[in-house]
Amino acid sequence: MGQQKPPYIADLQYVVRSDVGMRRAMNQDSTSVVLAEDDQAWTMRGHVFMVADGMGAHAAGELASKLAVDNLPHLYNHDRELAAPQALEKALLDTNGEIHRRGLANLDFRAMGTTASVLVLFPQGALIGHVGDSRIYRLRGQQLEQLTFDHSLQWELRSLKIITEGSDSYKSVPKNVITRSLGPNSNVAVDLEGPFPLEIGDTFLLCSDGLSGQIEDREIGSLLAHLPPEEAATVLVDLANLRGGPDNITLVVVQVNGPGLATLGPGGGRRATGRSRDADGGSLAAWVVLGVCWLLAGVLWLADQFGPAILFAVVGVVAGAWGLILRFRNCVPAEKSVSQTDKLGNAPYVTTACSAENEFVQTLATILRELREAAVEAGWQVRWNDFEHLCAKAETASQAGDNPSAVRSYAQGISFMMHELRNQQNRRPGDSAVDL
């Protein structure tokens, strides 16, 4: 018999997926999973999961994200004398310095950058370090929580109460303009969140915006809630690709499956240097927003778009004023005890109920119907008996009002058909799609 795994390994399940998408020539996303190798490593540092989404011309983005996932886990585990929150923040800052240094050394890599979203599971719970607009979610029961703040122009302006979600000004702000990343500058403000207590059944999702930009939170939550992690990861990538796949799609699903990981809450009273994003991070964000808004205002002014140009200029002034207020307001002491504050940060930032509603079931049914029509029209070689069996199961469950079962069967049908689509290019003319 093999050696029995320790509970902090045996009670853990995780899945990693990364896909180039439908419109990109290369994948600039990177991931890292580093599990605790012994009891001491588990107690001091725990398991590390990371997603990084690189940005830059040529291969710069790919290099930046690779540097991030290669350096950060090593740096985090290296400084054992530091408490976990301190070590995670320092690792992110040192990784930023290394990427910035590499960028300065080569003109082709100048100003390269990457997002970095890091999840640490250790005896005190779940700890998060974050820079950029990749995301970390937690599903507990039927509730999905976004535990990271998007460092995007849109979110920063909303946080500063300059614009409101759903307004015309909100819709006019580009979604893909990020205000923080590792690499472009010598300094960066890091968000720390948690530790969050862990319960059996908790499921975490780390993902790049290639996923979150194409799939709504309620859809993400419903698929995570009603599918095993392996199947949920597959159908999430497939669904993002079916909706255009404009960017690389990367995700890590992490699930707590037993008491070896579960904890009642944070503890230990360790010292942490993490600061609320309303202080240093908020001040830096305000200055970034000021710069971006004035840049957009200048471009729009030169394009004779005077109204929007004035709007962005005013928004920039307000952001600058808010930055000055935050700069001189001592929101949180530089050093504080985790046990005294319960947790670092302000998460969750978005909470979404994600039960399997009729609307989502019908959305999946429509996707499956359109896939069938496309396959017939294109003359795909498909294992139709298997496909029709999945469709029949889904329709039966839907008619019976068993929405969770319907979601599972429809999702399995979508992934089955996407698998068949990918197989088309591997089949030679005359090959049969019938199983032997």
DSSP annotation string for 337-377: EHHHHSSBS---SEEEE----HHHHHHHHHHHHHHHHHHHH
Share above pLDDT 90 across residues of the chain, in percent, rounded to a whole number: 66
Mean of pLDDT values over 58-67: 92
Which tokens belong to 229? 């992690």
Question: What is residue 128's three-state secondary structure?
Answer: strand
Q: Is the pLDDT of residue 5 over 50?
A: yes
**Separation between Cα atoms, residue 173 and residue 345, nearest integer Å:** 26
pLDDT band (50, 70, 90) for residue 434: very low
The span from the CA of 401 to the CA of 353, in Å, is: 19
DSSP state of 162: S
306 phi/psi in degrees, rounded to 5: -70, -40
Distance between CA atoms of 115 and 230, rounded to whole angstroms?
25
Handedness of CA 211, 212, 215, 219 (dihedral sign): positive
Residue 290's nearest CA partner among 318, 325, 327 is 318
Quote the CA–CA distance of 194 and 255 in Å, as a whole number. 17
- Dihedral of CA atoms 151, 157, 163, 169 in degrees, nearest 10, equals -80
For residue 365, what are its two tokens?
Answer: 């049914």
pLDDT score of 246: 95
pLDDT for 273 beyond 50: no
pLDDT of residue 330: 41
Which pLDDT belongs to residue 323?
A: 58
Contact 31, 248 (CB under 8 A): no
User: How far apart (Å, rounded) are the C-alpha atoms in residues 56 and 28?
Assistant: 9
How do residues 142-192 score in pLDDT, each as one tens digit? 999 999 999 999 999 988 888 887 777 777 788 789 999 999 999 999 999
Q: Which pLDDT does position 335 carry in this prediction? A: 41
pLDDT-derived band at 305, boundaries 50, 70, 90: low
Contact status, residue 215 vs residue 236, Cβ threshold 8 Å: yes
d(CA 205, CA 254): 6
Structure-token pair, residue 287: 């200055």
**Token pair in block for residue 159:** 């946080």
Query: How far is the CA of 160 from the CAs of 149, 156, 315, 432, in angstroms?
Result: 13, 6, 10, 60
Length of the chain: 436
| Band (73; pLDDT cuts 50, 70, 90) | very high
How large is the average pLDDT for residues 101-123?
Answer: 95
Residue 303 has pLDDT above 70, yes or no: no
Instruction: Look at 70-84, 241-255, 256-270 and tell me which has the smallest mean pLDDT.
Output: 256-270
CA dihedral 398, 401, 407, 408 (to 10 degrees): -90
Q: Is residue 259 scored above 60 in pLDDT?
A: yes
What's the whole-number mean pLDDT along residues 379-396? 93
Asked if 78 contacts 96 with a C-beta cutoff of 8 angstroms, the reply is no
pLDDT of 91 strictly over 80: yes
Q: Considering the entire predicted model, what is its pTM? A: 0.82
